[in-house]
Amino acid sequence: MYTTSTKIFPTTHVFGRMFQKVEKLPTRKMHWTSIEMVGPLANGNNALLRFGGEYDNFMDNYVANGGETAKMSKTPVPINEWTCIEWEYDNSNDTMRMWSDEQLISDIEVVSDPNWVHPKYQKIYVGWQNYQPNLVVPMNVWIDDVAMDSQRIGCTK
């Protein structure tokens, strides 16, 4: 389930922050998204810039023009504890970053990658979306204190 916002647009650089508690992770073959930026590319096709996880670790992925690519992290998603998740989308530099409890997850950082061309930002989704059948059910995910701004917000627990 996602919540979405269009109120912050138009913008070309956005930071976000949320607190998340995941009771347990889905099965290891499950890919999920927690934050998704959506908008059109210059060719009119939509592009999706996602942060989430797979195989118990953080990941990001890019979906556009009929293709999909991903970067897998070695950083595990914290289980059964409140975690501060922060993100950055920077259209002018085709850059996206994610932090967990104020620690940059550097192995999924994307900076000026011509294969991850950012769209015109139009909508952001925050929540949880599974993409394969989840064999570990039921599972609970709590999200609280979602904020977005033009500069990094930081975490205060």
Determine the Cα–Cα distance for residues 20 and 7; give it in Å rounded to an integer: 22
**Please, what is the Cα angle at 107 between 1 and 61, to 5 degrees?**
40
The predicted pLDDT at position 8 comes to: 67
More reliable by pLDDT, 18 or 25: 18
The predicted pLDDT at position 130 comes to: 82
Q: Is the pLDDT of residue 2 over 70?
A: no
Nearest to residue 126, comparing CAs of 36, 45, 41? 36
pLDDT band, residue 157 (cuts 50/70/90): low
Domains by residue range for the chain, with CATH: 2-149 (2.60.120.200)
More reliable by pLDDT, 21 or 30: 21
The predicted pLDDT at position 135 comes to: 67
pLDDT per residue as tens digits for the range 89-135: 999 999 999 999 999 999 999 999 989 999 999 999 999 888 777 66
- In this prediction, residues 69-90 reach a mean pLDDT of 96
The predicted pLDDT at position 124 comes to: 92
Backbone φ and ψ for 108, nearest 5 degrees, come out as: -120, 10
- In this prediction, residues 16-22 reach a mean pLDDT of 96
pLDDT per residue as tens digits for the range 134-153: 666 678 899 999 999 999 99
pLDDT per residue as tens digits for the range 57-66: 999 999 999 9
The predicted pLDDT at position 64 comes to: 95
Its sign, for the CA torsion 104, 117, 145, 31, is negative
The predicted pLDDT at position 131 comes to: 79
Mean pLDDT rounded to a whole number for the chain: 90
Q: How far apart are the first and last CA of the chain?
A: 24
